[in-house]
């Protein structure tokens, strides 16, 4: 029988941590506490009582019961536009599809057009063998159905599959203070931390129900108190740390608590095209090695700029990260390749999907290295993952680099590298990646940029890391 | 008379009784039902070989006592699948706070499939120290649990 390469462990919890996964710790809660009921408005009560139909009634009953379990006091109206993590149509999500069908049959749509995570496969830009494709088609046998249901329920377009939907090229970019009910841990982390929007980490299913209602239960990261930090992270590295490493270290330490990070404003002066990719990757690593839904970075992220250390709760804990600590974390990453010292078969860059700036940076890096080595074909199949929007912008604004990359054999797929690696038929491949998230959820190995660049050019890992 | 009584929070209330299946480590929903997810089997037998307490035990209609659920985000849909197939536990009793994946799956099963896993959380570590696999367990509407 085919099994996932990590024995089924794709998702939010590779460390098997005892957390709520909402991005809001509830360690302090006891059964004997007062668990007050949520207060509904007259309009919400009408829906709850079934006066707007039984499908909406089921939706609000589910959302209210869910919110009550996590201490919500009321429902809040949502702003911006939704984003959903469900992007794979398989028999495994049949119960969700059934619910989606009920919602669609009732003529319901989300409160605003939504985007969704990238699909698992891109047969054009990341093709597999015919036999593998046949197996993949069998696994994802409900993709068309999911897409059709999504379109009926309010998906923005059939082009809108990307985990980095908030980037300006794609434009599902919430404003500061917007209440959201997003799923996709990396996107949640980015819009909370870097944009100052407010969403909890939502499980698939609850996201759609909230977004159909246009309301979410107010608890955790939707509240001022839930956005207070309980960890002070003092970064004392000698240079700008790799975003994946610093994020990984923080996630492993704080799990789902909110960290306040200091020492990074020595290197990052604000949120711009260059830093947004860095902050995206740092956040994704905190959300995959832990379950962090929000981080504050002193002098950089909006709430930290405004409130500074007032964001730290009394009694906070402190974690110091220096060069040695990052070395320790890197050394702890397991090598899960079946052939532990084998030659990598693919290089995957960009998980979450690359920003425009990252695509330009990597494009230039590869072109420079190839020209320096005097080569015209890459040594290892290389893929730079991004949304269709970012890909289009990159190719239109950088035609020379894009043409050279294509000539070398570098591909720009629009699917999810993590899901591609987790699909059973792909499990045996030796994938090298620059993403901690892909590393955490699959058997791919993480390498630093200079190592990957050498691998891309020569087809081999440097002797000191192989 | 019950051997011990505990009071938790009735997350999804109900009155049921049955035989306990106890895990002292996190209940990995995806690994437990991996064959249901991938092969579509109709068995409630725990497939999680890392869970020495439950591996090979049929959990259908049992009172499953755990610290918390862990593992893949597919857990929410898995709860709906096992409810749909009629192989779900009768009750899930959590020593810790329920997590969002189990909460979502169990509540969606309750509201959209009309099938309930009675769920009580915040029972505390003492509960897991007291209850043993095979014990008779009675779950009350208000979250009171009688063991033995």
pLDDT of residue A203: 87
For chain A, what is the largest distance between any 2 Cα atoms, rounded to a whole number of angstroms?
72
Of B134, B1, B146, nearest in space to B57 by CA: B134
* Average pLDDT over chain B, rounded to an integer: 93
* Residue A168 within a domain: yes
Plot region of A421 (φ>0 → left; ψ -120 to 50 → alpha; else → beta): alpha
Is residue A256 within 8 Å of residue A20, measured between CB atoms? yes
Is residue A260 within 8 Å of residue A308, measured between CB atoms? no
Which residue range forms the structural domain that includes residue A361? Answer: 346-458
Using N-to-C axis directions, what is the helix angle for A388-397 and A399-408, rounded to 10°? 110
Rounded Cα–Cα distance for residues A50 and A33 (Å): 31
Asked if the Cβ–Cβ distance from B107 to A91 is below 8 Å, we say no
Asked if the Cβ–Cβ distance from B81 to A58 is below 8 Å, we say no
Q: Which one of A1, A21, A61 has the shortest CB-CB distance to B38?
A: A1
Is residue A280 within 8 Å of residue A355, measured between CB atoms? yes
Q: Is the domain of A316 the same as that of A351?
A: no
Q: Is the domain of A292 the same as that of A216?
A: no
Asked if the Cβ–Cβ distance from B111 to A102 is below 8 Å, we say no
Asked if the Cβ–Cβ distance from B81 to A27 is below 8 Å, we say no
Rounded Cα–Cα distance for residues A218 and A253 (Å): 26
* Residue A1 within a domain: no
φ, ψ of residue A259 to 5 degrees: the values are: -95, 150
Residue B32, number of CB atoms within 10 A of its CB:
28
Q: How far is CA A288 from CA A48, A164, A251, B74, in A?
A: 35, 15, 7, 15
Label each residue of B38-86 as H, E or C: HCCCCCCECCCCCCCCCCCCECCCCEEEECCEECCCCHHHHHHHHHHHC
Rounded Cα–Cα distance for residues A247 and A449 (Å): 16
Q: Is the domain of A430 the same as that of A298?
A: no
Q: Is the domain of A388 the same as that of A322?
A: no
Q: Is the domain of A240 the same as that of A267?
A: yes
pLDDT of residue A432: 97
Give the residue from A69, A135, A182, A217 with the most B CB atoms within 10 Å of its CB, the best one to mutate: A69
Chain A to chain B Cβ contacts (< 8 Å): 146
Is residue A460 within 8 Å of residue A379, measured between CB atoms? yes
Chain A residue closest in CA terms to B67: A18
Q: Is the domain of A164 the same as that of A247?
A: no
Rounded Cα–Cα distance for residues A463 and A442 (Å): 24
Q: How far is CA A66 from the centre of its chain?
A: 23
Which residues neighbour B128 within 8 Å (Cβ) at sequence distance 6 or greater? Answer: B22, B24, B65, B66, B67, B95
Q: Is the domain of A263 the same as that of A353?
A: no
Q: Which one of A1, A98, A203 has the shortest CB-CB distance to B104?
A: A203
pLDDT of residue A427: 60
CATH level 3 topology of B4-147? Glucose Oxidase; domain 1 (3.50.30)
Where exactly are the structural domains of chain B?
4-147
Q: State mean pLDDT over B87-107.
A: 95
What digits encode the pLDDT tens for the residues B114-132? 999 999 999 999 999 999 9
Q: Is the domain of A367 the same as that of A399?
A: yes
* Residue A18 within a domain: no
Beta pairing, strands A83-84 & A229-235? unpaired
ipTM of the complex: 0.94
Query: Of A332, A358, A383, which closes a domain?
Result: A332
Q: Is the domain of A240 the same as that of A211?
A: no
Domain count, chain A: 3
Is residue B133 within 8 Å of residue B21, measured between CB atoms? yes
Asked if the Cβ–Cβ distance from B104 to A20 is below 8 Å, we say no
* Residue A463 within a domain: no
Classify each residue of A214-224 as buried b or exposed e, where b means 16 or more C-beta atoms within 10 Å of its C-beta: bbbbbbbbbbe
Q: Is the domain of A355 the same as that of A453?
A: yes
H helix and E strand count, chain A: 17, 12
Give the residue from A31, A66, A106, A440 with the most B CB atoms within 10 Å of its CB, the best one to mutate: A31
Per-block average pLDDT, block size 10, for chain A (466 residues)?
39 63 85 89 98 98 96 97 94 90 98 97 93 88 96 98 98 98 94 98 93 97 96 98 96 92 96 94 92 96 98 97 96 88 96 97 98 98 98 98 98 94 75 92 92 98 86
Q: Is the domain of A218 the same as that of A154?
A: yes
pTM for the structure as a whole: 0.94
Q: Which one of A4, A20, A102 has the shortest CB-CB distance to B99?
A: A20
CA A156-A162-A167 angle, 5° bins: 90
Asked if the Cβ–Cβ distance from A58 to B8 is below 8 Å, we say no
pLDDT of residue A5: 36
pLDDT of residue B119: 98
pLDDT of residue A22: 83
Q: Which one of A16, A17, A203 has the shortest CB-CB distance to B73?
A: A203
Is residue A283 within 8 Å of residue A197, measured between CB atoms? no
Q: What CATH number corresponds to the domain at position A424?
A: 3.30.499.10
Give the residue from B29, B51, B81, B112 with the most A CB atoms within 10 Å of its CB, the best one to mutate: B112
Asked if the Cβ–Cβ distance from A8 to B30 is below 8 Å, we say yes
Helix, coil or strand: residue A358:
helix
Asked if the Cβ–Cβ distance from A92 to B37 is below 8 Å, we say yes
* Residue A16 within a domain: no
Q: Is the domain of A144 the same as that of A116?
A: yes
Q: Which one of A3, A12, A70 has the shortest CB-CB distance to B73?
A: A12
* Residue A29 within a domain: no
Listing DSSP states for A311-329 in one string gives GEEEEEEEEEE-HHHHHHH
């Amino acid at each position: 029988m085919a099994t996932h390469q990590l024995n089924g462990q794709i998702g939010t919890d590779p460390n098997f941590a005892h957390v709520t996964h909402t991005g809001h710790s509830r360690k302090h809660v006891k059964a004997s506490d007062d668990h007050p009921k949520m207060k509904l408005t007259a309009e919400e009560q009408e829906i709850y009582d079934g006066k707007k139909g039984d499908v909406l009634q089921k939706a609000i009953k589910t959302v209210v019961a869910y919110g009550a379990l996590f201490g919500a006091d009321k429902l809040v109206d949502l702003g911006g536009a939704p984003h959903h993590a469900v992007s794979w149509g398989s028999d495994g999500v049949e119960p969700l599809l059934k619910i989606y069908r009920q919602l669609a049959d009732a003529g319901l749509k989300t409160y605003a057009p939504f985007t969704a995570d990238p699909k698992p496969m891109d047969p054009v830009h990341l093709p597999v063998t015919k036999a593998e494709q046949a197996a993949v088609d069998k696994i994802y046998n409900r993709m068309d159905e999911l897409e059709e249901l999504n379109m009926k329920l309010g998906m923005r377009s059939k082009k809108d599959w990307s985990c980095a939907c908030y980037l300006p090229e794609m434009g599902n970019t919430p404003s500061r203070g917007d209440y959201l009910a997003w799923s996709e841990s990396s996107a949640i982390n980015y819009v909370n931390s870097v944009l100052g929007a407010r969403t909890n980490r939502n499980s698939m299913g609850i996201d759609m129900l909230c977004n159909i209602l246009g309301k979410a239960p107010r608890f955790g990261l939707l509240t001022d108190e839930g956005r207070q930090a309980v960890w002070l992270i003092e970064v004392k590295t000698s240079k700008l740390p790799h975003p994946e490493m610093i994020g990984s270290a923080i996630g492993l330490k704080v799990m789902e608590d909110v960290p306040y990070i200091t020492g990074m404003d020595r290197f990052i002066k604000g949120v711009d095209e260059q830093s947004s990719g860095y902050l995206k990757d740092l956040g994704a690593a905190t959300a995959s090695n832990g379950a962090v839904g929000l981080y504050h970075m002193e002098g950089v992220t909006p709430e930290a700029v405004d409130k500074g250390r007032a964001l730290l709760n009394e009694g906070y804990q402190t974690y110091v990260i220096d060069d040695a600590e990052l070395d320790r974390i890197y050394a702890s990453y397991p090598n899960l390749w079946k052939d532990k010292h084998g030659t990598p078969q693919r290089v995957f860059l960009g998980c979450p999907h690359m920003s425009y700036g990252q695509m330009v940076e990597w494009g230039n890096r590869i072109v420079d290295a190839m020209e320096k080595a005097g080569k015209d074909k890459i040594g290892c199949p290389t893929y730079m993952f991004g949304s269709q929007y970012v890909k289009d912008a990159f190719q239109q604004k950088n035609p020379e680099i894009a043409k050279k990359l294509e000539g070398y054999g570098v591909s720009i797929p629009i699917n999810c590298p993590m899901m591609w690696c987790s699909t059973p038929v792909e499990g045996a491949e030796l994938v090298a990646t620059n993403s901690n998230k892909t590393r955490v959820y699959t058997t791919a190995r993480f390498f630093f940029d200079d190592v990957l660049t050498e691998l891309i050019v020569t087809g081999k890992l440097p002797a000191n890391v192989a | 008379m019950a051997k011990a009584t505990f009071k938790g929070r009735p997350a999804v209330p109900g009155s049921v009784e049955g035989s306990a299946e106890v895990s002292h480590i996190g209940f990995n929903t995806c690994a437990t039902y991996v064959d249901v997810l991938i092969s579509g089997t109709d068995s409630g037998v725990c497939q999680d070989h890392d869970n020495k307490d439950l591996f090979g035990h049929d959990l259908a209609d049992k009172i499953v006592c755990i610290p918390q659920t862990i593992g893949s985000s597919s857990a929410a849909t898995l709860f709906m699948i096992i409810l749909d197939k009629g192989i779900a536990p009768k009750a899930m009793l959590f020593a810790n706070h329920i997590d969002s994946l189990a909460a979502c799956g169990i509540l969606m099963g309750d509201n959209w499939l009309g099938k309930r896993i009675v769920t009580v959380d915040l029972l505390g570590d003492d509960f897991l120290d007291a209850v043993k696999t095979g014990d008779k367990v009675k779950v009350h509407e208000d979250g009171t649990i009688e063991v033995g």
